[in-house]
Amino acid sequence: MRKFRLCQYPPEVAPAAEEKVPELDDEDLEAGPETRATIEEETESSIASKASSWIRTKAWYTRVYAPTVTPPIVLPMAPTDDEKGTYLKTNRLGLHGLGILAFLSLSAGMWLFVISSVAFYWFGAFVVFLQVYMIVSYLTSICGGEFDMAGHQKALDEHPIDALTAPEIDILLPVCMEPIEILENNWNHVEALDWPQDRIKVWVLDDGASDAVKAMAAEERFNFHYICRDNRPLLKKAGNLRYAFALTNAPFFAIFDADFCPRTDFLKEIMPEHMAHPDTCIVQTPQFFRTTSDQSWVEQGAGAVQEVFYRVVQTNRNKWGASVCVGSNAVYCRESRLEVGGTAEIGFSEDVHTGFYAMCRGWKLRYMPIVLACDVCPDTPRAYFSQQMRWAMGSTTLVTNPEFWKSPLTRMQKICFLCGLLYYSAISLSIFMAPLPGMLLVWIRPDYVRYYNLAFAVPSVLFGILVIRCWAKAEYGWNVNFVQQVQTYAYLAAIKKRLLRKGLTWINRSRYHLPNIATSSALVRYDAAGSFDSFQFVFSA
């Protein structure tokens, strides 16, 4: 990627040569030398001004949407009391009702396109696939339920935590070359956890073999146990956790990634659920992302995007016992992992597979939509692309495995997991399919191109622009649309890797602050292409 700087191209040099200088008329030629000089100076000044504006605009776009310098680190804080209950009410019925209306309107437009010409019949297969996905998704969501807050309060009352009743617990902190400021912020919050000190041990699992991390763990203010395994980087994060599992022995353990900041009452909110339900392998809480003005556009958009999943999807799936383990912000029962020696043996998305295999052995995974920790999102396009690709790979790898369909999970549990694969597939296919209707109509049936055909897409546009923004608790700005384009191509890359049986390149969390020039450039092109796709799809509906 070429890096533009304002001082690199003086306005009076290269850009001016690209402009056509207007010729002087007869009156100008008859004028004196001073007048002609003035006219020439004004012309050169105008050309230089236009060139300078273009350079500034391109430099701004490159700096903001394809960063080539390290963004400033924005440290999170633990959720406030108000933020703690952010996801408790899904308000899903109104959201889904309006979503179904928008879906039906858009479906009608797509079917009218399909039947408008024999040459378009093949497009019906894509429409059918979208409708199957949407119907399955909406049915599982509408039939879901709200979180049983009364039941949770009952567990808190019946199993109070004090010095006598508190079980032993290990806190596992996997790290790998993250900035020291992020680690220190995370450790300060972990140190402040409200739990009897003789019942808790904190373990730093350092896959970066950093002397600075080892020294900070030994400081008196922390005094954390330090582990650096010999077989790194085998299985990446999963290998790190499995190595630590063999060295720890508490009946429960919690995992926090390096950039999470838990509330002091984190353990006291979760442990009563384990004590009230002994068949529970994992109690999962949401990953919460606070958006602030000093974050990059990627962080702002990525944080808002996650609300639908943690506020609605996970809560609905909890009714069927099919919530997804997302690794961090969860407390695990050690007994449920003894048979397999810890987390799942896979180099990416080990959390999803860990929860699934525990369910297969008869354990229950419970989801609590109570915000107990705050995280930060990837701050560069490259890091966000990598994260989304890993997550998509986790779902697609699991559901496309023949063993998944032979598992003892219930039919509804399998359908819930299948929804994830359908979602990733539908979004990926839209890259190729969405722009086709508009172009095909213009080429084959131009007589059908009418402005009022846009009416079929208006409800979907309004749903994405207004309804979601009114429903969301997060700041749902236009950056959400940009990161959704990054998501689209990340999902496509994940599906391609799965189809070709290729491995996944791992970008650890420290790279959130080390943007890659080449990838950022590619994502800018993806963003532009995705925006064109969306326009074409709306035009052709």
3-state helix, strand, coil in the chain (%, to 5): 60, 10, 35
- Residue 222: which pLDDT band, with cuts at 50, 70 and 90? very high
Of all residues in the chain, what percent carry a pLDDT higher than 90? 69
Q: Tell me the pLDDT of the chain averaged across its residues.
A: 85
What confidence score (pLDDT) does residue 504 get?
Answer: 54
State the burial class of residue 348 (Cβ atoms within 10 Å of its Cβ: 0-12, 13-18, 19+).
buried
Q: What pLDDT, on a 0 to 100 scale, did the predictor assign at position 48? A: 60
Residues 439-445 have a mean pLDDT of: 92
Model confidence at 12: pLDDT above 70: no
Poorest-pLDDT segment among 71-80, 95-104, 365-374: 71-80
339-342 long-range contacts (CB < 8 A, ≥24 apart) are 341/242, 341/245, 341/246, 342/241, 342/242, 342/244, 342/245, 342/246
Say yes or no to pLDDT of 517 above 50: no
- Cβ neighbours of 414 (radius 10 Å): 16
Domain ranges of the chain: 14-65, 81-541
Query: What's the pLDDT at 282?
Result: 98
Indicate whether 212 pLDDT > 60: yes
- What is residue 500's predicted lDDT score, i.e. its pLDDT? 86
The Cα–Cα gap between 497 and 491 comes to 10
Query: What are the Cα distances from residue 361, in Å, to 281, 327, 356, 404, 420?
Result: 10, 19, 9, 13, 22
Tens of pLDDT, residue by residue over 148-157, are: 999 999 999 9
User: Binning pLDDT at 50, 70 and 90, where does residue 269 land?
Assistant: very high
User: What's the confidence (pLDDT) of residue 40?
Assistant: 58
pLDDT (average), residues 329-357 = 92
Phi, psi at residue 289, to the nearest 5°?
-125, 120
Q: How confident is the model at residue 73 (pLDDT cuts 50, 70, 90)?
A: confident
Mean pLDDT on 288-300:
90
Give yes or no for residue 520 having a pLDDT over 70: no
Residues 6+ apart with CB under 8 A from 89: 146
> Which pTM was predicted?
0.83
Q: Is 90 exceeded by the pLDDT of residue 136?
A: yes
> What is the length of the chain?
541
CATH code at 81-541: 3.90.550.10
Amino acid letter, residue 456: F
> For the CA atoms of the chain, what is the radius of gyration?
27
Output the pLDDT for position 51: 63
Q: Which two tokens stand for residue 480?
A: 């959400």
Greater confidence, 60 or 215?
Answer: 215
- Confidence class of residue 171 from pLDDT cuts 50, 70 and 90? very high
Catalogue the long-range contacts made by 490-493 (C-beta closer than 8 Å, 24 or more residues apart): 490/384, 490/385, 490/386, 490/387, 490/388, 490/389, 490/392, 491/388, 491/389, 491/392, 491/424, 491/427, 491/428, 492/428, 492/431, 493/385, 493/389
User: Where residue 83 falls among pLDDT bands split at 50, 70, 90?
Assistant: very high
Measured N-to-C along each axis, helices 411-433 and 479-499 cross at an angle, to the nearest 10 degrees, of 110
Query: How many angstroms separate the CA atoms of 340 and 67, rounded?
Result: 42
